[in-house]
């Protein structure tokens, strides 16, 4: 029975990750521009083009369906040349990939603000040490929840739907793995914040904040985008922008451009 579920799971995994057409107005950033801006510890958010990506974007009400951790040259000698990201794939599990994996996809760089070099190395090491961990493909019901691109789930339950799973410690999804890596050094992403009166006798009217760690299974790619602790890095602004030198097409929107000539 386990063999049958494994076969079904692998078929489901391949079906869910097969690219489909997704209309987007956002232009992908060229790979060379991404690499110039990236630093180890950066989180790369990706607008994926697959059935599972569409479902995740719907459930999280976000543009982003996938996340990868940039590890720089930490994989040198341990992975294929050019591999500089650690990500989680439904079929392949935790793996290393190169920047070409995200060619043609809309991306965003999220950078942890103030992360020390030592903690950055620990975050990177945490992710690299889990390369080879697998998604539990035998849990067919866990995978089947993504068959509908827009599952009929009330909004208040959508985030928890992402957390459904087998509980297998080697099972991982992209945002869960990265959240665990940052939580291993107690770096905040979207902690639960409570406020209480300060116990400092010198400041009886003061209020202090306490942060509580959110369970890693509840994290989604969008959380790195909306987190107040991650800065958004835009490759187009990494170089000095001379907007006056940009070339504009002044043809009316209703005209069709053919071979350099405008047609009504």
**Would you state the pLDDT for residue 215?**
74
The lowest-confidence range among 53-62, 129-138, 159-168, 181-190 is 159-168
Angle at the Cα of 9 from the Cα atoms of 88 and 102, rounded to 5 degrees: 30
Looking at residue 100, what is its pLDDT?
94
Do residues 192 and 209 make contact, with C-beta atoms less than 8 angstroms apart? no
Pairwise pLDDT comparison (177 vs 71), residue with the higher score: 71
Structure token digits, residue 146 = 């993504």
Encode burial over 115-135: b for 16+ CB neighbours within 10 A, e otherwise: beeebbebbbebbbebbebbb
Confidence category of residue 184, pLDDT binned at 50, 70, 90:
very high
Which residue from 186, 170, 59, 52 is spatially nearest to 119, judged by alpha carbons?
A: 186
Confirm if 45 and 220 have CB atoms less than 8 A apart: no
Count the alpha carbons within 13 Å of 58 in the hemisphere toward its beta carbon. 18
Model confidence at 134: pLDDT above 70: yes
**Residue 180 pLDDT exceeds 90:** yes
pLDDT digits (tens, 9 = 90+) for 203-261: 777 776 666 667 777 788 999 999 999 999 998 887 777 888 888 887 776 555 454 44
> What is the residue-averaged pLDDT of the chain?
80
Q: State what percent of residues in the chain have pLDDT above 90.
A: 35
Tokens representing 19 are 């690219």
Rounded to an integer, what distance in angstroms lies between the CA atom of residue 185 and that of residue 147?
A: 36
Cβ atoms 46, 66 nearer than 8 A = yes
Q: In a 10 Å sphere around its CB, with 0-12 CB exposed, 13-18 middle and 19+ buried, how is residue 179 labelled?
A: buried
User: pLDDT at residue 187 above 50?
Assistant: yes
Q: Is the pLDDT of residue 176 over 80?
A: yes
pLDDT attached to residue 262: 47
102: three-class secondary structure by DSSP? helix
pTM, two decimal places: 0.77
Does 146 score more than 70 pLDDT? no
Identify which has the larger pLDDT, 43 or 89. 43
Average pLDDT rounded to a whole number, residues 60-85? 92
Q: What's the confidence (pLDDT) of residue 258?
A: 52
pLDDT of 58: 76
Mean pLDDT, range 181-191, rounded to an integer: 93
Q: What residues are paired with 86 via a beta bridge?
A: 69, 96
């Amino acid at each position: 029975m386990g063999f049958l579920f494994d076969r079904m799971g692998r078929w489901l995994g391949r079906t869910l990750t097969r690219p489909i057409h997704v209309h987007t107005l956002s232009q992908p950033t060229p790979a060379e521009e991404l690499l110039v801006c990236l630093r180890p510890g950066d989180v790369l958010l990706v607008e994926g083009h697959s059935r599972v990506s569409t479902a995740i974007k719907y459930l999280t009400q976000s543009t982003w369906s996938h996340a990868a951790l940039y590890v720089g040259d930490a994989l040198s000698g341990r992975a294929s040349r050019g591999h500089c990201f650690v990500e989680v794939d439904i079929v392949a599990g935790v793996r290393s990939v190169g920047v070409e994996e995200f060619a043609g996809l809309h991306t965003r760089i999220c950078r942890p603000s103030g992360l020390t070099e030592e903690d950055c190395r620990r975050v990177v090491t945490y992710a690299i040490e889990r390369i080879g961990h697998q998604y539990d493909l035998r849990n067919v019901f866990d995978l089947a929840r993504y068959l509908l691109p827009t599952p009929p789930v009330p909004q208040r339950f959508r985030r928890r739907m992402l957390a459904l799973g087998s509980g297998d410690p080697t099972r991982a999804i992209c945002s869960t793995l990265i959240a665990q890596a940052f939580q291993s050094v107690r770096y905040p992403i979207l902690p639960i914040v409570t406020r209480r009166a300060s116990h400092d006798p010198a400041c009886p009217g003061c209020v202090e904040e306490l942060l509580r760690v959110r369970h890693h299974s509840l994290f989604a790619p969008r959380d790195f985008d909306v987190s107040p602790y991650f800065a958004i890095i835009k490759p187009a602004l990494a170089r000095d922008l001379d907007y006056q030198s940009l070339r504009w097409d002044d043809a009316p929107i209703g005209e069709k451009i053919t071979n350099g000539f405008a047609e009504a």
